[in-house]
């Protein structure tokens, strides 16, 4: 059955109804899908009057259609500008001017809060031995700094974009943008953030799985560790992997045996490795050169083979 209010929509747009009827129509449109659809059709109708299929003779209605199109363009422009400003919101977290800091850093702080709800368990505490190596920015993705950088740029930008678009909706003509449209916008934003956070979760957990299983190692930096200092020795990457001894080290690290127990080992001296993985993951590992036990910064223990340990000691200049 056709909605009895539908024929009043042109008069509603042209503001020909009484204030009481205008208010009643607004409440009805928020609940009626047919009227909302018809309203969208009126507003989206081409302005080539000679080709119209509906009768549009009132200038006010034509202005409402123009306002609708202008409002849509303004909302998208707000969103684009908000996204660009959000990319730089990190810069303003330390701004000395409180007004600029309060406004421009808001997307970053909101993004930090939202990410903290889902990813705070990944953050290292300040007493963790790996804290000084991996704690950067928000600190939610310590073992994948590339992912962390992308997330800390894009998430505030998305927050700023949707905030700017929300301002565009809320400052538009209420006869053009009904509450139901705004609710759909909020639902769309929620779904986009859910997909974004889901993608982040999947990528980071894949990184942690690679680190735990020592899969996809692409390079390693070897340091000599003493009780109060650490000295760089050599970096193994695509430029020297063709050498057998370096290739054997990368292969040997990938084949290290996972240990379920927590063996006693010397954590003050030995070798320290910065192991980097395909996809941006990285982890610090400490190798006890007496036992071949390797302690990963991700809180896992592995046992190196005698051959791998020998190659490590050899490229490290015979350290023992």
pLDDT tens for each residue of 13-29: 666 777 777 777 777 77
Count of Cβ atoms closer than 10 Å to residue 138 Cβ: 19
Domain borders along the chain are 6-57, 77-212, 216-315
pLDDT at 311 over 80: yes
Give me the pLDDT at residue 48, please.
39
Q: What percent of the chain has pLDDT over 70?
A: 80
DSSP alpha helix (H) spans, 18-130: 19-31, 33-44, 59-87, 98-104, 106-119
DSSP annotation of 79 reads H
Q: What is the pLDDT of residue 46?
A: 45
Pick the residue with more confidence: 170 or 107?
Answer: 107
**pLDDT the model gives residue 64:** 63
Predicted confidence (pLDDT) per residue in 27-81, tens digit: 777 777 777 777 777 666 544 333 444 444 456 556 666 666 777 888 889 999 9
Q: Which of 153-157, 188-192, 228-232 has the lowest mean pLDDT?
A: 228-232
pLDDT of residue 96 exceeding 80, the answer is: no
- Confidence at residue 266, expressed as pLDDT on a 0 to 100 scale: 80
CB atoms within 10 A of CB 250: 19
Closest CA to 180 of 20, 60, 2, 34: 34
Backbone angles phi, psi at 311, to 5 degrees: -65, -40
């Amino acid at each position: 059955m056709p909605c009895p209010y539908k024929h009043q929509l042109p008069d509603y747009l042209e503001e020909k109804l009484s204030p009481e009827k205008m208010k009643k129509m607004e409440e009805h449109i928020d609940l009626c899908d047919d009227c909302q659809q018809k309203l969208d059709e009126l507003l989206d109708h081409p302005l080539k009057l000679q080709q119209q299929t509906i009768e549009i003779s009132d200038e006010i209605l034509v202005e409402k259609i123009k306002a609708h199109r202008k409002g849509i363009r303004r909302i998208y422009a707000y969103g684009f500008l908000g996204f660009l400003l959000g990319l730089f919101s990190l810069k303003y977290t330390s701004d000395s001017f409180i007004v600029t800091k309060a406004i421009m850093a808001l997307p970053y702080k909101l993004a930090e809060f939202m990410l903290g709800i889902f990813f705070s368990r990944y953050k290292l505490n300040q007493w963790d031995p790996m804290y000084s190596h991996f704690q950067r920015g928000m600190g939610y993705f310590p073992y994948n700094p590339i992912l962390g950088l992308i997330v800390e740029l894009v998430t505030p930008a998305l927050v700023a974009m949707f905030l700017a678009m929300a301002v565009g909706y809320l400052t538009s003509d209420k006869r053009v943008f009904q509450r139901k449209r705004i609710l759909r916008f909020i639902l769309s934003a929620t779904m986009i953030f859910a997909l974004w956070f889901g993608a982040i979760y999947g990528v980071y957990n894949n990184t942690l799985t690679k680190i735990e299983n020592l899969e996809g190692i692409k390079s390693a930096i070897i340091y000599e560790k003493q009780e109060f200092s650490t000295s760089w020795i050599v970096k193994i990457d695509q430029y020297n992997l063709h050498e057998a001894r370096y290739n054997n080290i990368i292969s040997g690290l990938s084949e290290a045996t996972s240990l379920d127990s927590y063996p006693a080992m010397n954590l003050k001296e030995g070798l320290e490795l910065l192991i980097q993985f395909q996809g941006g993951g990285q982890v610090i590992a400490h190798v006890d050169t007496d036992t071949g036990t390797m302690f990963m910064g991700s809180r896992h223990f592995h046992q190196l083979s005698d051959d791998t340990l020998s190659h490590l000691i050899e490229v490290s200049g015979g350290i023992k």
